[in-house]
Amino acid sequence: MNRNLVAALAALLLAGVVAGYVVHARQSPAARDLGAQSVTAHSVEPGLQVLSNGVLSTVSLSDPQGARALTPLQCDRAHAAAGTVACLVPVDAFRGTHIQILDRQLRLQREIPLTGFPNRLRVSASGRMVAWTLFVDGHSYATTGFSTSAGILDTKTGTLVPTLEDFASTVDGKPYAAADKNFWGVTFAADDNRFYATMSTGGQRYLVEGDFAARKVRAIARNVECPSLSADGRRIAFKAAVDGHPRNGWRLSVLDLATMAVTPTAETRSVDDQPLWLDSETIAYALQRDDGVNDVWTVAASSTGQPHLLVPQANSPALVN
């Protein structure tokens, strides 16, 4: 990735926080509790984009529990990478769900109407590919309480795949055709063509590896939901249904793609999110309290350590670096 671009993006997104804090820190010594001194006008520290009960916001990674810069944008789910910000906009009385693709200054680039209720959203590391998952009502085959729809947009070519259900699929090496296929939780590889996702069919939840150009997916593992590919492309963080059944909740786990070995993380609470790699050793995810308030936590991408609270009252984390 272009480091100059990274620096510029981080500086721009933190500008609101930075500008306020320079003044604030000088006039109020007590402001040091808020981490003001750790953010300066020359800082290129990375930031974390989150949703604060639906408001697109940015916090400093050096003080994620301190001040947060709020934007006017409302999203049910958001993600960002390399200057592309994606926002699944809530429905209101006048409009259904839609996705907005914005640039780093939150200028609208493209808007696509969608059907369903926002669930997952990913921008590829380059900022080129955007994939979303929505809950949808009314699939006649929906017998387990929900069905989903996952789509992909190539922002470079404009190619739009409304639903991955149109892609050819193979399971156990054989062509697989079933009416009850549902996809969710797309994550992209560095080449912006290969991707991973969950395909649910016949009571199984497969990890599929996809080829966007060839419009096909193949199942490569079972009981893998909401995959998130590490930057080096070697590991997938995901949620694994406990004892293979979602009714029991999900264990945040890491899959080694070379050995296909699964390592449960030290997070033992049920995680229902598509995790985010903060760095090569750490994953972030949202956990919801009983009253619907979310918090962003981190845990090591191994079986070691313990979960740490990263950003209270936030969800949908994305690194803007």
Q: Is 65 in the site for another protein (CB under 8 A)?
A: yes
At position 115, the amino acid (one-letter code) is: T
- The correct pick among 247, 258, 259, 261 for binding another protein (CB under 8 A) is 247
- Residue-by-residue DSSP string for 258-279: TT--EEE-S--S---S--EEEE
CB-based contact 161:151 (threshold 8 Å): yes
At position 113, the amino acid (one-letter code) is: P
| Sites for another protein among residues 169-228 (CB under 8 A) | none
Q: Is 68 in the site for another protein (CB under 8 A)?
A: yes
- The correct pick among 146, 154, 180, 193 for binding another protein (CB under 8 A) is 146
Candidate ranges 171-179, 200-208, 222-230, 307-315; the one touching another protein (CB under 8 A): 307-315
Report, in Å, the least distance between residue 193 CB and another protein: 31
**What is the distance between the alpha carbons of residues 168 and 109, in angstroms, rounded to a whole number?**
30
Sign, Cα dihedral of 217, 219, 223, 224: negative
Q: Is 290 in the site for another protein (CB under 8 A)?
A: yes
Residue (53 or 280) nearer to another protein, CB: 53
Residue (24 or 216) nearer to another protein, CB: 24
Q: Is 135 in the site for another protein (CB under 8 A)?
A: yes
Strands (E), 129-181: 129-136, 147-154, 160-161, 168-171, 174-175
Q: Which residues, 6 or more positions from 36, have their beta carbon under 8 angstroms from its beta carbon?
A: 21, 24, 25, 66, 67
SS3 content of the chain, % helix, strand, coil (to 5): 15, 45, 40
- The correct pick among 9, 10, 46, 76 for binding another protein (CB under 8 A) is 76
Sign, Cα dihedral of 66, 72, 77, 80: negative
Q: Is 3 in the site for another protein (CB under 8 A)?
A: no
Q: Using CB under 8 A, list all residues that contact another protein.
A: 16-17, 19-21, 23-24, 27-34, 51-55, 57, 65-71, 74, 76, 90-93, 97, 117-119, 135, 137-138, 140, 142-146, 246-247, 272, 288, 290-293, 311-314
